[in-house]
């Protein structure tokens, strides 16, 4: 029986397995290798906290690109939402842990033993994959687990998600210090200082927001300082309007300069009719990957340097109730945001010292009774700390993409080896394609990848997904 090993069991890995089960016409074995978290939840949907909401409305969170209303219909099957009418439920930002239940439910349905018609048998192994050895003349590879066990497979899918956060200077000396949390997804709740104390959050993005809303939900009343280079907090979601695309869809490749001009003009037009300029970015969502791929490497680098921070704040918005909680924290003086470059961390007499430099070049040190690193995943791959990628690069089975933000793949999600040749057995999907596609981290893109990669692994002709109903669903 052909075997596919899927490394990573978050949304991407789970949905790839589910789609293999949906499309397989002959018996297949699927082995999911997933470490540290329950299968199907991953980092985002592994939270058990009810205040952590999706940052995409329910109408856009179907796991299936060929069935855009699937999540909404699943929610309708739960009594929790009986009080909401359909229109309201579609616009609701559901707790992420419930989304995790949805994915686990799909996995149980498609990959369990209940359906005698299923062609897939699935096994989940709780361990880390640290290496892949090619099988030589025989197609496929042998995935090596941390416990030393080999998993033989004809195809291997890399669905490992984001890398853990990068270490900050001085942080390695704080590894055993309870006042420092280097990975916000690991428990810091147990180490909360008293209400008269100070928590410093490194970062002001979505992860920092998760921490702030949890502190408030726990009724913690101390002070919080959040630091990031630009000092920008995520914006609030809003209901968009019918609006033409900033960039005409005429198949022409456009330079970064021209794209910036067109988008800025569009933002200006939107402001002129008292509309949120973020609509210009939202409307491009379905074509962002195509526009990114048409840029030169120099243009992509320039985009990252000059425009990405603004783009991210506009693009990655948060649910209304979450934005309200953050605004309250600011208004009542609990939360202060500082724009500054974090230089280093050190254990101080009372707390953890955070050394930083402000935009005006002034050096400053503040102390936190608890410091939480929310600076986001490490982006560079060439010096990845993950043994799996170090080994794949050393073997020449994979190479970092040209932006060094993930690994290089072709349009069929086949991994490119060190010579640029497409692998015969190794595929990759998920946030590790960010350098290749830019927009490759959220469900609207990942469900498409999971759908297409399953067909590619099964050597089936790609099935067209009707896009008519799905144009607005991304935002």
Ligand X SMILES: Cc1cc2nc3c(=O)[nH]c(=O)nc-3n(C[C@H](O)[C@H](O)[C@H](O)COP(=O)(O)OP(=O)(O)OC[C@H]3O[C@@H](n4cnc5c(N)ncnc54)[C@H](O)[C@@H]3O)c2cc1C
Binding footprint of ligand X on the chain (CB under 6 A): 7-13, 33-37, 42-44, 54-56, 128-129, 159-162, 206-207, 210, 388, 430-431, 441-443, 446
Task: Tell me the C-alpha distance between 200 and 214, whole Å.
Answer: 14
Smaller CB separation from ligand X, 351 or 444 = 444
249-285 burial, b at 16+ Cβ within 10 Å, e below that, comes to: eeeeebebeebbebbeebbebbeeeebbebbbbbbbb
Other Cβ atoms less than 10 A from the Cβ of 2: the count is 17
**Cβ at position 383, least distance to ligand X in Å:** 17
Task: Tell me the C-alpha distance between 432 and 405, whole Å.
Answer: 7
**Cβ at position 413, least distance to ligand X in Å:** 13
Of the candidates 106, 88, 104, the residue with the CA atom closest to the CA atom of residue 20: 106
**Cβ at position 161, least distance to ligand X in Å:** 2
Residue 177, classed as helix, strand or coil, is coil
- Tell the residue number behind the tokens 């924290």, with chain if given: 329
**Cβ at position 311, least distance to ligand X in Å:** 16
Smaller CB separation from ligand X, 184 or 351 = 184
Smaller CB separation from ligand X, 126 or 367 = 126
**Cβ at position 417, least distance to ligand X in Å:** 19
Smaller CB separation from ligand X, 69 or 347 = 69
Task: Tell me the C-alpha distance between 126 and 108, whole Å.
Answer: 16
The DSSP H or E segment spanning 96 is helix 96-111
**Cβ at position 453, least distance to ligand X in Å:** 12
Smaller CB separation from ligand X, 16 or 370 = 16
Smaller CB separation from ligand X, 7 or 372 = 7
Contact in structure between 406 and 436 (CB atoms under 8 Å): yes
**Cβ at position 110, least distance to ligand X in Å:** 16
**Cβ at position 93, least distance to ligand X in Å:** 8
Smaller CB separation from ligand X, 42 or 234 = 42
Smaller CB separation from ligand X, 56 or 281 = 56
**Cβ at position 49, least distance to ligand X in Å:** 11
Rounded to the nearest 5°, which phi and psi values hold at 364?
Answer: -150, 150
Strands (E), 89-158: 120-126, 129-134, 141-145, 150-153, 155-158
**Cβ at position 104, least distance to ligand X in Å:** 12
Of the candidates 471, 196, 165, 208, the residue with the CA atom closest to the CA atom of residue 336: 208
Smaller CB separation from ligand X, 37 or 338 = 37
Burial of 349 (0-12, 13-18, 19+ CB in 10 A): exposed
Smaller CB separation from ligand X, 198 or 323 = 323
HEC profile of 43-58: CCCCCCCCCCECCCCH
The number of residues making up the chain comes to: 475
**Cβ at position 352, least distance to ligand X in Å:** 23
Task: Tell me the C-alpha distance between 69 and 49, whole Å.
Answer: 25
Rounded to the nearest 5°, which phi and psi values hold at 144?
Answer: -100, 125
Contact in structure between 169 and 344 (CB atoms under 8 Å): yes
H-state helical runs in 383-431: 387-395
First to last CA, the chain: 40
H-state helical runs in 141-226: 206-217
Smaller CB separation from ligand X, 42 or 351 = 42
**Cβ at position 131, least distance to ligand X in Å:** 9
Smaller CB separation from ligand X, 206 or 263 = 206
């Amino acid at each position: 029986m052909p075997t596919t090993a899927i490394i990573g069991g978050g949304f991407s890995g789970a949905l790839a397995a589910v789609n293999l089960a949906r499309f397989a016409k002959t018996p297949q074995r699927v082995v999911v290798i997933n470490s540290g978290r329950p299968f199907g939840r991953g980092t985002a949907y592994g939270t058990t906290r009810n205040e952590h909401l999706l940052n995409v409305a329910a109408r856009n969170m179907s796991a299936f690109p060929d069935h855009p209303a699937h999540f909404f219909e699943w929610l309708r099957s739960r009594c929790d939402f009986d009080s909401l009418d359909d229109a309201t439920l579609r616009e609701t930002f559901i707790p992420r842990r419930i989304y995790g239940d949805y994915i686990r439910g799909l996995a149980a349905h498609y990959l369990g033993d209940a359906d005698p018609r299923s062609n897939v048998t699935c096994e989940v192994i709780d361990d880390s994959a640290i290496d892949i050895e090619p099988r030589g003349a025989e197609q496929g590879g042998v995935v090596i687990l941390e416990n030393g066990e080999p998993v033989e497979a004809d195809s291997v899918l890399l669905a490992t998600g984001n890398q853990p956060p990068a270490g900050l200077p001085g942080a390695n000396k704080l590894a055993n210090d309870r006042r420092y949390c280097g990975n916000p997804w690991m428990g810091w709740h147990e180490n909360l200082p008293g209400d008269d104390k100070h928590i410093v959050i490194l970062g002001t993005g979505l992860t920092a927001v998760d921490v702030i809303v949890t502190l408030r939900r726990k009724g913690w009343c101390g002070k919080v300082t959040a630091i990031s280079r630009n000092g920008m907090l995520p914006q609030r979601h809003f209901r968009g309007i019918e609006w033409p695309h900033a960039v005409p869809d005429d198949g022409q490749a456009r330079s970064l300069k021209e794209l910036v001009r067109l988008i800025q003009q569009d933002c200006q037009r939107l402001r002129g009719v008292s509309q949120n300029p973020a609509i210009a970015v939202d409307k491009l969502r379905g074509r962002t990957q195509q526009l990114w791929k048409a840029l030169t490497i120099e243009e992509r680098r320039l985009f990252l340097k000059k425009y990405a921070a603004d783009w991210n704040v506009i693009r990655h918005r948060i649910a209304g109730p979450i934005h309200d909680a953050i605004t309250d924290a600011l208004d009542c003086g609990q939360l202060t945001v500082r724009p500054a470059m974090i230089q280093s961390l050190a254990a101080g007499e009372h707390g953890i010292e955070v050394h930083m430099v402000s935009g005006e070049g002034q050096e400053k040190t503040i102390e936190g009774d608890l410091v939480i690193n929310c600076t986001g995943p490490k982006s560079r791959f060439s010096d990845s700390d993950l043994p799996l990628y170090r080994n794949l690069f050393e073997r020449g089975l994979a190479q970092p993409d040209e932006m060094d933000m993930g690994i290089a793949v072709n349009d069929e999600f086949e991994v490119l080896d060190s010579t640029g040749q497409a692998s015969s057995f190794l595929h990759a999907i998920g946030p590790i394609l960010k350098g290749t596609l830019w927009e490759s981290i959220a469900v609207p893109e990942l469900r498409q990848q999971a759908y297409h990669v399953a067909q590619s692994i099964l050597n089936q002709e790609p099935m067209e997904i009707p896009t008519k109903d799905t144009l607005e669903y991304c935002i």
